[in-house]
Amino acid sequence: MSPRTLAAILMLSISPALAAQQFSSVPGQGRSMVVTKLGIVAAPQFLASQAGAHILEEGGNAIDAAIAANAVMGVVQPYVNGIGGDLFMVYYEAKTGKVYGLNASGWTPKALTIEYMNAHHIDKINPIGVETVDIPGAVAGWDAMRTRFGALPFSRILAPAIYYAENGFPLAEKNARYWGAKSLLKQPGFRETYMPNGEAPKLGEVFRNPALAHSLREVAAHGRDAFYNGRMTETMVKFLRAQGGTHTLEDFKDFEPEWVEPLSTNYRGWTVYELPPNGQGIAALSMLNIMEQFSMGQYGHNSVDALHIMIEAKKLTYADMHHYVGDPRFTPMPVKELLSKDLAAQRAKLIQMDKAACQVVPSDVEKKLDAHGNSTIYLSTIDKDGNIVSLIQSNFAGYGTGMVAPGLGFSFHDRGAGFELTPGLPNSLAGHKRPLHTIIPAFMEKGDIHIGFGIMGGWNQAQAHAQFVANVVDYGMNVQAALEQPRFTKGTFEGCDVQMEQTIPEPVREELGKRGHLIQLLEPFSFSVGQGEAVLRDSGRKVNFAGADPRSDGEAIPQGPDTK
C-alpha cells in the first residue's frame, strides 16, 4: 500500500464532524478515553493514578491529586523522578479561565562557578558528579502549588506515597524493565537503596523504601521546611560536601520556586501554552509556528511530507532554542522575536521538500549535544470543577547522579550536567543559576475545549508536543488516539539522524530515506519517543475526558462517586 493510499484512508476516516468534536475514536485506537463528570488522574504508573483519584474522592482538587500522584511516582519509578529532582507545572483555573505557570527548577550552589571549576582544574562536567546537583525544586514546587491552590494538608496528600514506600509494592512490567543501573552501583547510597545485592528487583517482586517513607513523613509534618531548612537539609549538605560539593545550608534555605506567565501561540485557532525559559517549551511553540506555514492536514497523518516538515521544523527551532535559551535572570532572551509569525515564515522557507538539511543556520550550532536526560515523568489531573494540572517532574538522567544521602531514600538529580563551561553563553555555569531545562508541561484550548498534556523524554519533549498538537488539530484525533500514534524523535541538534517507531509504514520511511533522513528504527511504543498523558475538559457540557500512553504502566483513572 502506497503512502498516498494510507494517507487517503486516514483522511477519509477523519470527518469534519470528528475534527470538530475531538471525542470519537479513530481506526486502530487501542484504548478508549476515560469519560466522566468527576475528576480523573492520568499518570504513567497505575498506583500513582489511583492514589490521585483517591485524593479527589477525599475532597481534594486537581492540585492535591497531582501532588499525591507525583509523590507516589517518586516511590514506584525512582529511576525517572523523585524529591531529589525538579518540577514544572501549568495550572488551568476553570472558574476564571486563567492559565498559571510554576517553575520549580533548582539553581546551582552559589559558590559553583566557572571560576571555581577552573581553580580546581575541572574542564568538563562529570554527568553524574556532585557538581551536577542543583538544589532540588520538587518539594518547594509542591508547597507552592498546595499553598496557592490546594485544599488538603500534606499529611493527607502524601499518605499514599508513604504507604507504598513503607509497605512496598510489586513491580509492574515497565518498572521491571527499566529498574536498576549497574553503572551507578558505586555511587554512594545507590546500591543499598535501589539494588540490594547488586540486582534489580524483578516483575512482581515487592520493593520497599522505608528511608523514603521517613523523608515523606517529614515533609508531611513540616512542609517545605523539612527539605530546605531542617534536619534533612543538614543531612543533604553534609553528604554533598563530603562528595566534593559546594552546597551550603543557605543555598537550600534561600531557594524559592517562581510563578511565571506561560508563553503561547495560536495554531490554527487553538491557543497552545508552554512555560517560558529556562525550559525548552519555546521550541514547541516555534515548531508549531513553522508547521502552520504548511497545510499539514492535506498531507495526511504521518505521511512523507508531513513527517519531513516536522523533522525539518524541529531542527530549525531547536537550533534557535540552543543558541538563545538559558536562565532569563542572567541573560536577556528574544522571546517575542523567536515566537513571531514573521520569523516562522522565514524559517519555513528554508525547508526543502525534497531534501533533508543536515546543518541549519543561522543558529551558531557548532557541536552535537548528547541526547541523555530522558528520565522524567509527566502526569495530568482534572477535578469535577474542570481545574486542570499539567505537571512534569524529573531526575534528568536515570536516577540522576544515583547518589543517595544516608537515611533519606532518594537520589539526587544531575540537572546541572546541562550547563556549559564556556563563559558568556546563555547556558554558561554560574552561581544560583538555573540550567537550560528539558522538562516542559503544556496546555491547549479552543472554545469550550481545554486540554492539559505533556510527553516526557529529554530533548524529545518539544517535538513530541508538536506532534501531539498536530494529531489533535490537523488530524482530528481525540486525546487517547493522539498519544498512541507512532512518533519520531531526534535527540541531537545536528545531522540528518532521526529515530522512528517501526509502526510508521515502511514505504514512508523509505521515501524519507531518499530525501536524506538517516532513520534509526525503534520498537513499537518505544520509551525513546516519550510517554505522555492528557486530560480534557468540555466546559460546555461539563464533562471530563482523559487518555494515557500505552508506552508506560500508566492509566487514566477516574474519581469514584461519593455514595455516603
CA distances from 548 to 157, 175, 536 (A): 22, 16, 12
Q: What is the pLDDT of residue 285?
A: 97
Pairwise CA distance, residues 368 & 201, whole Å: 36
**Domains held by the chain: number:** 1
Among 483, 547, 481, 467, smallest CA distance to 10 is for: 481
Check whether the bond before 276 is cis (ω within 30° of 0).
Answer: no
Mean pLDDT by 10 residues, the chain (564 residues): 40 39 76 96 97 98 98 96 97 98 97 96 94 97 98 98 98 90 94 92 96 98 97 98 97 97 97 95 96 95 96 94 89 89 94 94 39 73 98 93 97 94 94 93 97 92 96 95 96 92 96 97 94 96 96 95 87
Can you tell me the distance from the alpha carbon of 461 to that of 18, in angstroms, rounded to the nearest whole number?
Answer: 27
CA 34 to CA 42: how far, in whole Å?
10
Quote the pLDDT of residue 361.
65
d(CA 149, CA 133): 29
Q: What is the pLDDT of residue 180?
A: 85
- Angstrom distance (rounded) from CA 468 to CA 293: 17
pLDDT for the residue numbered 138: 97
- Say which amino acid occupies 59: G
Q: Which of 53, 40, 80 is nearest to 534 (CA)?
A: 40
Query: What is the greatest pairwise CA distance in the chain?
Result: 67
Examine residue 471 and state whether it is found in any structural domain, yes or no.
yes
Which residues constitute the domain of residue 70?
A: 1-14+39-294+370-485+532-559
Q: Cell digits for 310?
A: 516536522
Q: List, in sequence order, every residue forming a beta bridge with 40; answer none if it has no partner.
A: 382, 558
Cα separations in angstroms, 199 against 166, 189, 193, 302, 307: 20, 14, 11, 41, 41
The predicted structure's pLDDT at residue 25: 79
∠ CA 92-96-477, rounded to 5°: 45
CA gap 45, 69 in Å, rounded: 9
Cell of 477: 484525533
Query: Nearest 5°: phi and psi at 248?
Result: -130, 165
User: Which CATH number belongs to the domain containing residue 228 in this structure?
Assistant: 3.60.20.40
Radius of gyration of the chain from its Cα atoms, rounded to whole angstroms:
22
Specify the pLDDT at position 458. 85
343 located within any domain: no
Determine if residue 508 is left, alpha or beta; phi over 0 gives left, psi from -120 to 50 gives alpha, anything else beta.
alpha
CB 80 within 8 A of CB 394: yes
Whether 476 is covered by a domain: the verdict is yes
What letters, b where the CB count within 10 A reaches 16 and e where it falls short, cover 434-458?
bbbbbbbbbbbbbeebbbbbbbbbb
Rounded alpha-carbon distances, angstroms, from residue 228 to 35, 217, 233, 254: 40, 15, 5, 8
Whether pTM exceeds 0.75: yes
**Cα separation of 426 and 439, whole Å?**
18
Q: Domain for residue 515, yes or no?
A: no
> Is 113 a domain residue?
yes
Half-sphere exposure of 153 (CA within 13 A, CB side): 8
Cβ–Cβ < 8 Å for 312, 351:
yes
What are phi and psi for residue 460, nearest 5 degrees?
-65, -25
**pLDDT given for residue 147 in this prediction:** 98
